[in-house]
Structure 1
Amino acid sequence: MKNILASIVVTIITLSIVIDNAQGKRVLQSFEAFEYTAITCRSHSASITEFGGVGDGKTLNTKAFQSAVDHLSQYASDGGAQLFVPAGKWLTGSFNLTSHFTLFLHKDAILLAAQDINEYPILKALPSYGRGRDAAGGRFASLLFGTNLSDVVITGNNGTIDGQGSFWWQKFHGGKLKYTRPYLIELMFSDTIQISNLTLLDSPSWNIHPVYSSNIIVKGVTIIAPVKSPNTDGINPDSCTNTRIEDCYIISGDDCIAVKSGWDEYGIAFGMPTKHLLIRRLTCISPYSAAIALGSEMSGGIEDVRAEEITAYQTESGVRIKTAVGRGAFVKNIYVRGMSLHTMKWVFWMTGNYKAHADSHYDPHALPEITGINYRDIVAENVSMAGRLEGISGDPFTGICISNATISMAAKHKKAIWMCSDVEGVTSGVDPKPCDLLDGQQSEKKKKTDGGCDFPTDVLDIDNVELKSCSYQMN
């Protein structure tokens, strides 16, 4: 049975005993044995209560969490360690993770993000951005943060991380922030990461942000925020290689998944693309943004993105490409198949006129290359406009392919069903008929096959990673 566990299973034992905690107080401790799947299992275990943690929703636990992580880091070379967060409401500010480490949240555990800016250290701006995204200064550290780490697992049997974001949204709307809002989870310059089987609520800004990292699995995560909350992107792989995102459900105030790689001259100079990205079985609701966005910060480049089995409801667009003069770099070799879209403003949206810039020093000669964009096997209903594809004058988007797409227009759809400028491509089996700029001729080789747009048949390394059956039980 262990080999077929698809989710965390709580098992067998619950023990309650009285112990002395780190402050010398006698507390009732509940220990549970459980099984879960992870990239790596651990040899050592502890509970946050052993370090003075109190799950009453009022006691601040930042020091307890950091003490626990620091203590467990000693086992990094001895099979690693896992920190168990029992049922309760655990108020905490930002704390740093460590290598060869698992953070596990019980199904009734809630990490509550402290609503005190002093609980979030100030970090420098990311080098590929040159400034904060909310303000010119740096940024607040994320709730769960780590840099230069290896082998990190953040998981649970659907435990919750509640960002209590309204505190930050009000400050953002009021123009009262000197630094960029914290994210819920950010790992930098790290390798071998798993984030799974969690519910993330009301993030101050982005929810999950792996950046300058590789070999990442995000699986079985539910992300929820009000659809009008500012910049609450779901999952943002940023200058990352070998990433697998699957079986996620996202309701947000911004893009459900946003693929990024740095901003204007800073991203160009840093030169670290996002590549070899898999997205599958995504369900998205985002009335003002995209199910999947590529950019607009893409100045390190984006290539080899493979998305399939995408479902979106009441979402502004399916897959959106956002770029501008000054971004430079490329978005190329993008493959999407199997989208089911319900009540959309646009099915296809590309723009080369996304003018938000880091500063005024961007290079007006740094033109992005957008090419090799493939969409196939799409059904959409209640759509206002089928496609809005706007390249850059003198720098057209090329190699666009759309095949086997059936789009049912809304009763009050836009008069112009397609809008195209400065784009080149081919289509087959698309209804309603696309614009003339997408009426190029397919190659003879393509005509002899199914006539559909490309989707790779090779297997990426990250797709060969299998999760192991792990367990936790207190000694």
Structure 2
Amino acid sequence: MKSRGGVWAAVLALMWWCSGAVAEVATCSGLVPMVYRSDKISITDYGAVGDGKTLNTKAFREAIYRIEHLRRRGGTLLYIPAGVYLTDSFNLTSRMTLYLAKGAVIKATQDTTNWPLIAPLPSYGRGRERPGGRYMSFIHGDGLHDVIITGENGTIDGQGDVWWNMWRQRTLQFTRPNLVEFKDSRGIIISNVIFKNSPFWNIHPVYCSNVVIRYVTILAPSDSPNTDGIDPDSSSHVCIEDSYISTGDDLVAVKSGWDQYGIAYGRPSNDITIRRITGSSPFAGIAVGSETSGGVTNVLAEHITLSNTGIGIHLKTNIGRGGIIRNITISNVFMENIRKGIKIAGDVGDHPDENYDPNALPIMKHIRIKNIWGEKVLEAGLVKGLKNSPFTDICLANVHLFGSSGSRHGPWTCSDVSGGSVEVSPSPCSELISSSQTGACSIPF
């Protein structure tokens, strides 16, 4: 016989997914149109050998040079047939499609000695892990438009264990490379590809607009350090949906710059949609921060399924960050085997150096977390603002988090926060208890 939590979880899941089947399912499809490219070339035309041993860097760079300089009308599709293609890092170009056929693997070399270095991001002021520059991502794009990475669920493999070991042994000279990064780019689609074993963050659109990431699988061992799944960073109009992510760090984390550097650069993340994501992580499922110095506004995350995860929903910032986090809505989340269901905190994350401004206090307001069901949740929640910058208008509605036996937890932990709640169990802290639904938390669910 099912536990009370199990029965209600099944009912909730059925209601959510059946309602989605009856109504039209929201998708990202209109944000960036998928482009058909009549001009097609194969990586094997340039001498690539998919034996997993031959180094194919020259073939990739020559093929992409051809796409960039011939500039065929409508762009060009670079076809990667089945096989394992070992290569150093390489740059993409505008108006191209990188297409991985079924059984195709683009695999990063583990020779780190010749890995290119690039400048730090101006909103970070230095590498995220080490001072100075940073290693270029395995697949990189800077100042591009109209780029598609897609295929038949081929694989991009970062072979990150050599980088993870350098991090563990503290022998890194510079910040590790991301698996895929687009910088200052627009009109990007990433779909139907498996990403695995990233050296650092997996997919990082930074200073980008109009980005769609859908139907992807992202995999890394649970003990792999800082292998975030998808990190939209100082970017706008980003849609992430219908994907499975299992990594060693946050599954999806919205960012916008680090302390004084992010404040000075002043580019927010806004209009971010995250939906129908399933996954597990020892850290957070859906996160905002902790690098939020440019501000984060208008984020919608919905229909999320999490298991074996450290924190289900994590909004995080710190003194010195500055920036405004507002209009964040997270709804229809099912979580199981979670250490902490919901955490909203102003004391999370480190600083790039000692020159941050302790008076640069973040502002967090207009947060809506609703329709949440959790089973085997060790701790229900923590909401901890800052004494001189309390978090305001934090609203919880229809949030039910159960322990391993189906019993409710004790009170939440809260400080320097105001808002309201409707139908929350266990009962939230007094700062978030509404006397009626007409208060700060009068939101439908």
* TM superposition shift of 1:64: 0.8
* TM superposition shift of 1:283: 0.4
* TM superposition shift of 1:408: 1.1
Number of the residue aligned with 2:241: 246
**What's the secondary structure of 1:364's corresponding residue?**
coil
Q: Does 1:72 align with 2:70?
A: no
After TM superposition, where is structure 1 displaced by more than 2 Å over at least 4 residues in a row? Answer: 74-77, 410-417, 440-447, 451-454
Residue 164 of structure 1 aligns to which amino acid in structure 2? Answer: Q
* TM superposition shift of 1:357: 0.1
* TM superposition shift of 1:351: 1.2
Question: Is the Cα–Cα contact under 8 Å of residues 324 and 367 in structure 1 kept in the other structure?
Answer: yes
Question: Is the Cα–Cα contact under 8 Å of residues 153 and 193 in structure 2 kept in the other structure?
Answer: yes
Q: Does 1:364 align with 2:358?
A: yes
Number of the residue aligned with 2:171: 176
Question: Is the Cα–Cα contact under 8 Å of residues 291 and 319 in structure 1 kept in the other structure?
Answer: yes
Number of the residue aligned with 2:419: 425
Number of the residue aligned with 1:5: none
* TM superposition shift of 1:417: 4.1
Question: Is the Cα–Cα contact under 8 Å of residues 344 and 382 in structure 2 kept in the other structure?
Answer: yes
Residue 159 of structure 1 aligns to which amino acid in structure 2? Answer: G
**What's the secondary structure of 1:360's corresponding residue?**
coil
* TM superposition shift of 1:38: 6.1
RMSD: 1.8
Question: Is the Cα–Cα contact under 8 Å of residues 376 and 406 in structure 2 kept in the other structure?
Answer: no
* TM superposition shift of 1:101: 0.4
- In 2, Cα distance between the equivalents of 1:333 and 1:270? 22
More strand by share: 1
**What's the secondary structure of 2:226's corresponding residue?**
coil
Q: Does 1:302 align with 2:293?
A: no
The 1:345/1:68 distance shift into structure 2, 3 A limit, reads same
1:166-245 alignment to 2 at 5 Å?
A: 166-245=161-240
Residue 34 of structure 2 aligns to which amino acid in structure 1? Answer: I
**What's the secondary structure of 2:261's corresponding residue?**
helix
1:111-130 alignment to 2 at 5 Å?
A: 111-130=106-125
Question: Is the Cα–Cα contact under 8 Å of residues 384 and 414 in structure 1 kept in the other structure?
Answer: no
* TM superposition shift of 1:118: 3.5
**What's the secondary structure of 2:215's corresponding residue?**
strand
- In 2, Cα distance between the equivalents of 1:426 and 1:414? 19
1:20-419 alignment to 2 at 5 Å?
A: 39-76=34-71, 78-286=73-281, 288-411=282-405, 416-419=410-413
**What's the secondary structure of 1:289's corresponding residue?**
strand
1:72-125 CA deviation, whole Å, 9 max, x = no partner?
Answer: 123436110000000000001110000000000011001111101144210011
Q: Percent identity, aligned pairs only?
A: 46
Q: Does 1:452 align with 2:443?
A: yes
1:252-283 CA deviation, whole Å, 9 max, x = no partner?
Answer: 10000011000000000000000000000000
The 1:453/1:171 distance shift into structure 2, 3 A limit, reads farther
Question: Is the Cα–Cα contact under 8 Å of residues 392 and 422 in structure 1 kept in the other structure?
Answer: yes
The 1:38/1:109 distance shift into structure 2, 3 A limit, reads farther
* TM superposition shift of 1:415: 7.3
- In 2, Cα distance between the equivalents of 1:426 and 1:322? 20
Question: Is the Cα–Cα contact under 8 Å of residues 333 and 372 in structure 1 kept in the other structure?
Answer: yes
- In 2, Cα distance between the equivalents of 1:381 and 1:358? 37
Question: Is the Cα–Cα contact under 8 Å of residues 370 and 399 in structure 2 kept in the other structure?
Answer: yes
Question: Is the Cα–Cα contact under 8 Å of residues 136 and 178 in structure 2 kept in the other structure?
Answer: yes
- In 2, Cα distance between the equivalents of 1:212 and 1:147? 10
Question: Is the Cα–Cα contact under 8 Å of residues 382 and 414 in structure 2 kept in the other structure?
Answer: yes
1:374-410 CA deviation, whole Å, 9 max, x = no partner?
Answer: 0111111111111111111121111101101121123
Residue 311 of structure 1 aligns to which amino acid in structure 2? Answer: T
Question: Is the Cα–Cα contact under 8 Å of residues 263 and 322 in structure 2 kept in the other structure?
Answer: yes
1:312-358 CA deviation, whole Å, 9 max, x = no partner?
Answer: 00111122011111000111000111000111111110111124001
- In 2, Cα distance between the equivalents of 1:386 and 1:75? 58
* TM superposition shift of 1:62: 1.0
1:112-159 CA deviation, whole Å, 9 max, x = no partner?
Answer: 111011442100111000011121121111111011100000011100
- In 2, Cα distance between the equivalents of 1:423 and 1:445? 15
Q: Which runs of 5+ in 2 are unaligned?
A: 1-31
Question: Is the Cα–Cα contact under 8 Å of residues 384 and 410 in structure 1 kept in the other structure?
Answer: yes
Number of the residue aligned with 1:462: none
Question: Is the Cα–Cα contact under 8 Å of residues 75 and 81 in structure 1 kept in the other structure?
Answer: no
Question: Is the Cα–Cα contact under 8 Å of residues 421 and 434 in structure 2 kept in the other structure?
Answer: yes
Residue 361 of structure 1 aligns to which amino acid in structure 2? Answer: N
Question: Is the Cα–Cα contact under 8 Å of residues 128 and 269 in structure 1 kept in the other structure?
Answer: yes
- In 1, Cα distance between the equivalents of 2:247 and 2:326? 26
**What's the secondary structure of 1:137's corresponding residue?**
coil
* TM superposition shift of 1:440: 3.9
Residue 452 of structure 1 aligns to which amino acid in structure 2? Answer: I
Question: Is the Cα–Cα contact under 8 Å of residues 374 and 453 in structure 1 kept in the other structure?
Answer: no
* TM superposition shift of 1:425: 1.1
> Which is further off, 68-77 or 234-243?
68-77
**Length, aligned pairs only:** 414
Residue 295 of structure 1 aligns to which amino acid in structure 2? Answer: G
**What's the secondary structure of 1:168's corresponding residue?**
helix
- In 1, Cα distance between the equivalents of 2:172 and 2:378? 37
- In 2, Cα distance between the equivalents of 1:258 and 1:131? 20
**What's the secondary structure of 2:431's corresponding residue?**
helix
**What's the secondary structure of 2:198's corresponding residue?**
coil
Q: Which runs of 5+ in 1 are unaligned?
A: 1-36, 455-475
Number of the residue aligned with 2:27: none
Question: Is the Cα–Cα contact under 8 Å of residues 375 and 453 in structure 1 kept in the other structure?
Answer: no
- In 1, Cα distance between the equivalents of 2:306 and 2:283? 11
Larger Rg: 1
The 1:424/1:235 distance shift into structure 2, 3 A limit, reads same
Residue 300 of structure 2 aligns to which amino acid in structure 1? Answer: R
- In 2, Cα distance between the equivalents of 1:445 and 1:297? 31
**What's the secondary structure of 2:239's corresponding residue?**
strand
**What's the secondary structure of 1:63's corresponding residue?**
helix
Question: Is the Cα–Cα contact under 8 Å of residues 434 and 440 in structure 2 kept in the other structure?
Answer: no
